[in-house]
Amino acid sequence: MSKLYALAVVLWAVAGGVDAGATKPGWRVLGNVFSCLLWLCLVPKKLTIYGKNYPWISNYTNGATSTIITIDPDVGSISYVVNPLLYNAFCAGHSQAADGGIHVIGGDYQSSSFLSDHSYGPNYSMVDNETFLFNGIDRIRLYELPSTNTDIESGSGWTEELVMTTARWYPTVVTLGDGTVFIAGGDTRNINFDNLTDTINPTYEFYPSRYKASLFSSLLQWSFPHNLYPISFALPGGKILLLASNRTVLIDPDVDPGDNEANTVSIASLPVLDHAPWIYPHTPTSFILPIRESNNYSLTIMVCGGTKNSSFYASSDCVAIDNPEFPNAQWKIMPNMPSARLMPDSAILPDGTILLTNGVGWGQAGGNAGQNNFGAAPVFTTDLYHPENNTWTSLELSTVARMYHSGAILLNDGSVITTGSEMANYLEFWGTPTTVGPDAAFANLSQGYNQNCYPVVEIACTLPWELRIEQYTPSYLTSGNPRPIVKPFATGTVLTYNSTVAIQLDSTGADVQQISLIRYTTTTHSTNTDQRLIIPILLYVNKTVAIFRIPPNGSVAPPGNWHVFAVSGSGVPSIAQTVLLGNGTVTTVPIPTTSSSSRQHAGAVVLAAMWIIFLAY
């Protein structure tokens, strides 16, 4: 039985396959992980999840701030191995590294000088266990992939020694095409609305450092305080898109900015809508639409959700920009989501659709755990965007409220999981799932429905930390149509840019119509700079082999680990295999002259003369 291995900072993930013959799409609760999981970072055979235990230390995880959690998704069984971080990584930014590890950059200045007492509930106590001993707001952390499963389950992997020259709370982190890292924004400590100048940090930097340690951005200065977790993506031409509030710039990482931002060019602002700044605390989600080789790797960025400008109600607005590096690129208004939502999360699916889930219908992001006056009316509807015809559909209702500090991520079986929320006690403040406002409730916890639970949570009250994982099974896995079957790849398979490669298929699986390459992702606070889907041209396919070309460079397909899904004509994906994309010698394989439409087995003969990198051994 395949298993999902998880960390409460780093969680192993080989999802047990959802049977394509299942009869009903929708949501199910996998189980209780006994830690509030605030960020998710996928690595081979595991899923990195950070559980915020400071200052509330969980007995279930022996006081550790990060724990390897082994999950069997078929039955929901869970076990733990401690994997502590010493430097506070709460409110950090994340991206997948070029070698498949994880960057966790910035964080929080608080350390474990204060721990909670038993008034927060029977599952929390003053157990320190040497976790989050130190201020972590200026740290660059790397989770390095262990070489064996034994290493993973022993809890090794973290390097925390690197230090930035400036503190960053709520930064955005992007892995670039050459494997270096772009780090944008983030305050010098938790934002202080009584003294905004005390925390402003209108800068970005690179790791490894280039030009100088910290580089000024007039966009981040102009947009402050709306410059936390700014939207940013690596673009096919090598530039970086940076969006804060409603303005967008392109940054060329290969040009020295000097003293006048010589590497930065402003492009179009977002359309004028009844929408608050497109950034925290009016948090939207952003994602890249499927990138097709047949369309010359054209790239479109789409941004959805947030809050209205005229009220604190969530917005259903979506905007998009095609090929931002092209001259005169403009943002355009897209069809509205069926469900208005603030703090949505998005997951790109292997059939090319985009799943939107989580979020609330009123308020703003922010607040400490349990401060439900900041957000109300959790959105349980699941929405699906169809890029091919630019339409939306509404899907099944989830059962777990995912409010501030939630996340969603795609697994290798084609399902999606959601985690987190520090507002699980929202009903004790609002009374019903649909009650909202008035706006003054932002500053007045005394308006809470159950005053016995505010401002101090008593043992009889609901704890604010949502500890359950919920899994969504899309309809493509419940249609009754079979999956394609991709034979296992050799452990540690590496593919180089612009190479032509062949993957082996099991002839008993469904015929393959499409290959979907989806980058392993990291996500927090509705920010996911990693996820992108690339659909290569199928150069040849039959029942036993599919041949296609790897994208041309890291700007199109940033280096790191990628899912390889084979997708049937009915839109059903295989269970994905994993490859590492990167630079190296370009390789080719012969392409059979036999027509692929005949579905003959000539590919099996051809493979005998080819280098067979994809056989497991």
> What pLDDT is stored for residue 235 in this prediction?
99
> What pLDDT is stored for residue 51 in this prediction?
57
What would the mean pLDDT of 493-514 be, rounded to a whole number?
Answer: 97
> What pLDDT is stored for residue 182 in this prediction?
98
Angstrom CA distances, 210 to 113, 179, 188, 368, stand at 36, 13, 21, 36
pLDDT over 70, % of the chain = 78
Enumerate helices (H) and strands (E) in the chain, giving the number of each: 4, 44
Look at residue 54 and tell me whether its pLDDT is greater than 60: no
Task: Tokens for 211, please give them.
Answer: 């030009």
> What pLDDT is stored for residue 265 in this prediction?
98
Domain ranges of the chain: 4-473, 482-608
Band of the pLDDT at 589, cuts 50, 70, 90?
A: very high
Band of the pLDDT at 179, cuts 50, 70, 90?
A: very high
Closest CA to 228 of 263, 180, 256, 193: 193
Q: Which residue has the higher pLDDT, 537 or 88?
A: 537
Tens digit of pLDDT for each residue in 305-357? 999 999 999 999 999 999 999 999 999 999 999 999 999 999 999 999 999 99
Judge whether 355 and 474 are in contact, CB under 8 Å: yes
Tens digit of pLDDT for each residue in 387-436? 999 999 999 999 999 999 999 999 889 999 998 998 998 998 888 999 99
What is the CATH number assigned to the segment(s) 482-608?
A: 2.60.40.10
Is there a common fold for 4-473 and 482-608? no
Closest CA to 373 of 384, 365, 381: 365
Judge whether 155 and 167 are in contact, CB under 8 Å: no
Judge whether 279 and 229 are in contact, CB under 8 Å: yes
SS3 608: helix
> What pLDDT is stored for residue 459 in this prediction?
60
> In sequence order, what E strands does 381-457 have?
381-386, 391-397, 406-410, 416-420
CA distance 65 to 63: 7
> In sequence order, what E strands does 271-378 have?
285-288, 291-292, 300-304, 318-322, 331-334, 345-348, 354-357, 360-363, 375-378
Task: Tokens for 280, please give them.
Answer: 């925290």
> What pLDDT is stored for residue 454 in this prediction?
66
> What pLDDT is stored for residue 87 in this prediction?
83
Judge whether 535 and 591 are in contact, CB under 8 Å: no
CA distance 194 to 473: 45
SS3 471: strand
Q: Beta strand pairing status for 391-397 and 406-410? A: unpaired
Angstrom CA distances, 605 to 16, 56, 149, 543, 595, stand at 32, 60, 35, 12, 14
Q: Which residue has the higher pLDDT, 602 or 144?
A: 144
Worst-scoring range by mean pLDDT, 244-248, 330-334, 429-433, 572-576?
Answer: 429-433
Query: DSSP state, 367?
Result: -
40 bridge partner residues: 49, 523
Compute φ and ψ for 608, nearest 5 degrees.
-65, -25
Judge whether 270 and 331 are in contact, CB under 8 Å: yes
CA distance 478 to 457: 42
Look at residue 531 and tell me whether its pLDDT is greater than 70: yes
CATH class (in words) of the domain with range 4-473: mainly beta
The mean pLDDT value of the chain amounts to: 84
> What pLDDT is stored for residue 35 in this prediction?
72
CA distance 89 to 171: 12
First to last CA, the chain: 18
Mind giving me the DSSP string for 290-315? Answer: PEEGGGTT--EEEEE--B-SSSSBBP
Q: Which pairs count as long-range contacts for 428-434, CB under 8 Å and 24+ apart, including other chains?
A: 428/372, 428/453, 428/454, 428/461, 428/462, 429/372, 429/373, 429/453, 429/454, 430/372, 430/376, 433/377, 433/378, 433/401, 434/361, 434/377
Tens digit of pLDDT for each residue in 590-615? 999 865 543 333 333 333 333 334 43
Mind giving me the DSSP string for 437-463? Answer: --GGGGG-GGG-SSGGGSSS--TTSPP
Q: Which residues of 501-520 are buried (b: 16+ CB within 10 A; e: fewer)?
A: bbbbbeeebbbbbbbbbbbb
> What pLDDT is stored for residue 47 in this prediction?
59
Task: Tokens for 572, please give them.
Answer: 């059903």
What would the mean pLDDT of 441-451 be, rounded to a whole number?
Answer: 72
Closest CA to 49 of 72, 73, 33: 33
Sign, CA torsion 270/524/439/312: positive
Tens digit of pLDDT for each residue in 104-113? 999 988 775 4
Judge whether 472 and 416 are in contact, CB under 8 Å: yes
Residues contacting 242, CB < 8 A, separation 6+: 184, 204, 217, 219, 230, 231, 232, 248, 249, 250, 251
Band of the pLDDT at 121, cuts 50, 70, 90?
A: very low
Alpha-carbon Rg for the chain, nearest whole angstrom, is 23
Task: Tokens for 478, please give them.
Answer: 């419940």
Look at residue 578 and tell me whether its pLDDT is greater than 70: yes
Tens digit of pLDDT for each residue in 458-471? 666 788 888 888 99
182 bridge partner residues: 174, 206
Judge whether 283 and 314 are in contact, CB under 8 Å: no
98: alpha, beta or left, given left = phi > 0 and alpha = psi -120 to 50? alpha
Q: How many CB atoms lie within 10 A of CB 499?
A: 17
Angstrom CA distances, 333 to 110, 271, 277, 471, stand at 41, 7, 15, 31
Band of the pLDDT at 519, cuts 50, 70, 90?
A: very high
Question: Cis (ω within 30 of 0) for the bond into 455?
Answer: yes
